[in-house]
Amino acid sequence: MPLSRRWTLTRYLIEERRRFPEASGDLNALILDVATACKAIAKIVAFEDLAGAFVPEGGSKLEGGAINVQGEVQKRLDVISNEIFTRTNEWNGHLAGMASEEMDVPFQIPAQYPRGKYLLVFDPLDGSSNLDVNVSVGSIFSILRAPDDVVAAGRDVVEADFLQPGARQVAAGYALYGPTTMLVLTVGNGVVGFTLNPTTGEFVLTHPKITVPPATQEFAINSSNARFWEPPVKRYVDECLAGKAGPRGKDFNMRWIASLVAEAHRILMRGGVFLYPRDMRDPAKPGRLRLLYEASPVGMLIEQAGGRASTGRQPVLGVTPTALHQRIGFVFGSKDEVDRIERYHQEPLSDDGPEPLFATRSLFRA
C-alpha cells in the first residue's frame, strides 16, 4: 500500500505492524512514547525561559552546570530533556532499561513498573551548545532488543547488555526542533519523516520515502581540526577544495552546522557527506562522536535511505561497542563520497605522481 501524506505516526506504525502479524505492538507503543517525549522537549526548546514549567510530574527542576561522563558541561535543558525521556518511558512496560549520553550508567526501570523486551538508547538534546544562537537542535534515539536472559530473569540491565552493533537496531530516529518540529524514523523498512501539527499535536507524514542521492557536491567538516586530520581525510578535502580544476572535476560547497541532527537532516533531505573523522589529536580518543547515541542510530537512518555510514575504514553498523560512552570517527552521506573516503583510507600512501592542488601548501595542511 502506498504511503499517504495524510497518515499520522500512529497510522504508519499500525500499517507497519500489519506486515508482521505475530508482533505484539510493544514496539509501536514504545515509539509513540518516544514521540511524546520529543513533543515535550520541542515545547521546552521553543519556550526556554519557561523550561521549568514543563518538567514531568515527579521530576526535579535540576540545574545544569555539572560535568557529565563525556567531560562536558551539562546545560539545564540537557538535564531536563534527559528527565523527560526517562520519565516518559520508564512506566510503559516495554523497556528492560535505558542508556543516555547524559547518564554515567544504565537507567534501571523502577521496581513498581513492569519490564519489557527492549532497550532505549538516546541523546536527549543533541547540539544543545547551539541553543544560545537559536540553531536547530534535536533528540536522537535507538531501540535494541534486550538480551534473552534480561527478559527471562527480569534482572537489572548492565552496561554489557547495550554493547550491540548498530546492525541489531530494531528502530532508530531523531526529532528535529527547528522552524517546524520533525520526527524522522526507520523501523527497518526505509526512512519516513513526520511533521508536528501544532494544532492537533499529531505527527503527520510529510516525507513518505526519504532517500539520499548517491552523488553530491556538498561536504561538511570542521576545518579548524585540519592539523589533526589523517592523510586520507586531508587528501579528500584538498580534492574537494580544488574544484573543477582539480582531480574531482567539479566544484563543492562546504557546510558546517555543529549539530549532528541538523547535519543528518540536511543530508537526508538533499544529499551530501558529513565527516567527523578519527584524528591525531588524542590517541586515546579515536573519534569525537558517540557510537551508541549518535553514530549507530544516524547510521541506520542513512543506510535505510540508500546512503552509506562508515568510520572511514569500515561500515559503522558493523562496529561492536566496547563501552557505553565509546567515541568513534564517523563519515556518512551520499554513497559515492563515502565509498571514495573509505578507498582513500585503504590505499597506501605514496609520494610518487602529481600532487593535487593545495597538496603541499594548503591552508588545511599542518
pLDDT reported for residue 184? 98
Residues of the chain with CATH 3.30.540.10: 9-207
pTM to 2 decimal places = 0.89
Q: Name the phi and psi angles at 206, rounded to 5.
A: -120, -20
Neighbours of 175 (CB within 10 A): 28
d(CA 333, CA 152): 39
List the grid coordinates of 113.
513498573
Which DSSP state fits 253?
E
- pLDDT score at 366: 40
The pLDDT profile of the chain, 366 residues, written as one tens digit per residue, is 677 778 999 999 999 998 888 888 899 999 999 999 999 999 999 876 544 444 444 444 345 556 666 566 677 899 999 999 999 999 999 999 999 999 999 999 999 999 999 999 999 999 887 777 777 899 999 999 999 999 999 999 999 999 999 999 999 999 999 999 999 999 999 999 999 999 999 999 999 999 999 999 999 999 999 999 999 999 999 999 999 999 999 999 999 998 999 999 999 999 999 999 988 888 777 789 999 999 999 999 999 999 999 999 999 999 999 999 999 999 999 999 999 999 999 998 765 444 444 444 444 444
* Structure confidence at residue 281 (pLDDT): 85
The pLDDT score that the predictor gives to residue 310 is 98
pLDDT of residue 73: 63
How many CA atoms lie within 13 Å of 194's alpha carbon, on the beta-carbon side?
28
User: Do 126 and 294 touch, CB atoms closer than 8 A?
Assistant: yes
pLDDT of residue 23: 80
SS (H, E, C) 160-209: HHHCCCHHHCCEEEEEEECCCEEEEEECCCCCEEEEEECCCCEEEEEECC
For CA atoms 94, 99, 102, 103, the dihedral sign is: positive
Cite the residue boundaries of each domain of the chain with CATH code 3.40.190.80: 218-346
pLDDT, position 120: 98
Give me the pLDDT at residue 88, please: 98
Contact 328, 214 (CB under 8 A): no
**CB neighbour list of residue 114: distance below 8 Å, 6 or more residues apart:** 93
**DSSP code of 155?**
P
Strand 218-220 and strand 192-197: the pairing is unpaired
| CATH 1.25.40.10 is held by the domain 218-346 | no
Q: Give the pLDDT confidence score for residue 358 in this predicted structure.
A: 42
Q: What is the CATH number of domain 9-207?
A: 3.30.540.10
Q: Which of 116, 143, 139, 119 shows the shortest CA–CA distance to 128? A: 139
